[in-house]
């Protein structure tokens, strides 16, 4: 989106450079990404950078309100509450679509937010490999708040492991070695020393949890949680015997599972900002809008775009039996803002935060980008296209 950088990148791009870039990530992580990685990063101009940060600050103003937990008391589904909730999430991400206003000016529009970690370690690897294999100028940066590769990884280490020994901290997931994001787990283990562990491999003794570390039963004092509990419930019938994570356990969560629901689509109706599309809980909708085609229907308790209804009819709304679990949101029109050799691409930018204990607000640290040439953004969709998939952004003005 910075025309000069986009033109230069496209001009100098070759398939061999791209393959070398992919090989570099695979060599460092020990395995190639199991998802499509885009052929390009995104170059964000200073004006759009400022708008993204402004939008995030407005959203965080709501999250740090003293009554935020009261506002979100109904966010956690029945039976999904996990004891020992922390005062705040340690990780948080905010997703924006890149759009254009009526004057053709680039603007962000909020798509979703999550009190949940993303590919925090993998993004360090990806952005560094982009720099190593392509000519990314020093006028743009992937980090915020003065961070660099080393200080970013040190911050991750401190937040995830704290004062504990690395063997006392695990990365918890459901079947981690089958997840498409497993490269992040392996690279996290390589850089931070934290072992990915499946929920089925946890050993419970009283309120304490253990796992086998090199054949030795080892106490778990902190879990870097990568389990999406909706997904856990879906897979539960096929998992066999495993520890019940909904009980009171003597273990710390980073990030605590309840925040996945508190900071989510459930939060959107409470945020009022020019960069946040109008949203309303379906059970509080005064009347069906006359321009219903300009709205999208989203289930509160789903992830990865599942269940979203894009082209809504009044009948779709009438058929919903649990309107309290849905939001009606004004539709966001993605702009085909990324010029690529085989046509323009749409883009989402994920702003990634870390919230240290004792801090009054989370810290903006890094980012993730997604490029697509179809109606729904996602790294597993439109596989026939090139120049789409997971990526990162380099920002002007940071």
DSSP codes, 195-264: EEEEGGG-EEETTEEEEEETTEEEEE-EEEE---HHHHHHHHHHH-S---TTS--S-EEET-THHHHHSS
DSSP helix/strand/coil, 142: coil
72: left (phi over 0), alpha (psi -120 to 50) or beta: alpha
- What the block records as the tokens of 108 is 């962000």
**Cβ atoms 346, 371 nearer than 8 A:** yes
Nearest-10 crossing angle of helices 15-29, 120-133: 140
**Cβ atoms 263, 115 nearer than 8 A:** yes
DSSP assigned state of 37: B
Report how far residue 220's alpha carbon sits from residue 164's, in angstroms, rounded to the nearest whole number: 10
How is the beta sheet containing 216-220 ordered, strand by strand? 203-205, 208-213, 216-220
Number of CB atoms found within 10 A of residue 47's CB: 14
Tens-level pLDDT at each residue, the chain (398 residues): 899 999 999 999 999 999 999 999 999 999 999 999 999 999 999 999 999 999 999 999 999 999 999 999 999 988 899 999 999 999 999 999 999 998 999 999 999 999 999 999 999 999 999 999 999 999 999 999 999 999 999 999 999 999 999 999 999 999 999 999 999 999 999 999 999 999 999 999 999 999 999 999 999 999 999 998 888 888 888 898 999 999 999 999 999 999 999 999 999 999 999 999 999 999 999 888 989 989 999 888 765 556 888 888 889 898 898 898 899 999 999 999 999 999 999 999 999 999 999 999 999 999 999 999 986 665 445 556 899 999 999 999 88
**Nearest partner of 125 among 6, 226, 46, 24, judged by Cα:** 24
**Nearest partner of 91 among 225, 265, 227, 246, judged by Cα:** 225
Report how far residue 88's alpha carbon sits from residue 96's, in angstroms, rounded to the nearest whole number: 22
Beta bridge partners of 93: 114, 352
- The pLDDT value given to residue 398: 87
DSSP assigned state of 134: S
Please identify which residue in the block is written with the tokens 């903006």. 364
Strand extents, DSSP E, the chain: 42-44, 91-100, 106-114, 140-141, 169-173, 195-198, 203-205, 208-213, 216-220, 222-225, 252-254, 279-281, 295-299, 326-330, 346-354, 363-372, 389-391, 393-396
Report how far residue 292's alpha carbon sits from residue 290's, in angstroms, rounded to the nearest whole number: 6
- The pLDDT value given to residue 305: 56
DSSP assigned state of 382: -
- The pLDDT value given to residue 154: 97
Number of CB atoms found within 10 A of residue 48's CB: 24
- The pLDDT value given to residue 126: 98
Report how far residue 21's alpha carbon sits from residue 64's, in angstroms, rounded to the nearest whole number: 40
């Amino acid at each position: 989106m910075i025309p000069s950088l986009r033109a230069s990148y496209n001009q100098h791009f070759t398939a061999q450079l791209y393959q070398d870039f992919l090989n570099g990530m695979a060599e460092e992580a020990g395995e190639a990404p199991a998802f499509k990685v885009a052929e390009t990063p995104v170059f964000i101009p200073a004006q759009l950078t400022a708008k993204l940060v402004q939008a995030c600050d407005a959203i965080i103003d709501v999250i740090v309100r003293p009554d935020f937990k009261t506002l979100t008391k109904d966010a956690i589904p029945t039976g999904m509450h996990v004891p020992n909730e922390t005062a705040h999430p340690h990780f948080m991400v905010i997703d924006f679509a890149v759009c254009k206003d009526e004057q053709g000016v680039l603007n962000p529009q909020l798509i979703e937010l999550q009190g949940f970690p993303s590919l925090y370690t993998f993004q360090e690897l990806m952005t560094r490999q982009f720099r190593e294999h392509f000519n990314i100028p020093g006028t743009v940066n992937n980090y915020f708040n003065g961070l660099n590769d080393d200080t970013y990884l040190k911050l991750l280490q401190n937040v995830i492991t704290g004062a504990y020994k690395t063997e006392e901290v695990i990365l918890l997931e459901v079947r981690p070695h089958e997840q498409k994001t497993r490269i992040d787990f392996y690279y996290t283990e390589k850089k931070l020393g934290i072992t990915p562990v499946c929920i089925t491999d946890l050993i419970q003794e009283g309120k304490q949890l253990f796992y086998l570390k090199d054949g030795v039963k080892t106490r778990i004092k902190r879990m870097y949680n990568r389990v999406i509990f909706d997904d856990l419930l879906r897979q539960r019938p096929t998992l066999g015997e495993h520890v019940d994570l909904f009980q009171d356990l003597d273990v710390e969560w980073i990030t605590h599972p309840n925040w996945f629901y508190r900071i989510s689509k459930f939060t959107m109706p409470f945020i009022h900002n020019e960069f946040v599309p109008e949203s309303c809980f379906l059970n509080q909708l005064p009347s069906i809008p006359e321009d219903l085609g300009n709205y999208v229907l989203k289930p509160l308790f789903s992830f990865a775009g599942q269940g979203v209804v894009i082209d809504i009819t009044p009948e779709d709304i009438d058929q919903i039996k649990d309107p309290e679990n849905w939001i009606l949101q004004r539709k966001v029109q993605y702009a085909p803002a990324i010029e690529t050799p085989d046509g323009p691409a749409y883009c989402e930018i994920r702003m990634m935060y870390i919230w240290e204990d004792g801090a009054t607000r989370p810290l903006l640290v890094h980012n993730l980008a997604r490029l697509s040439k179809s109606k729904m953004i996602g790294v597993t969709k439109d596989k026939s296209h090139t120049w789409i998939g997971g990526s990162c952004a380099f920002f002007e003005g940071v």
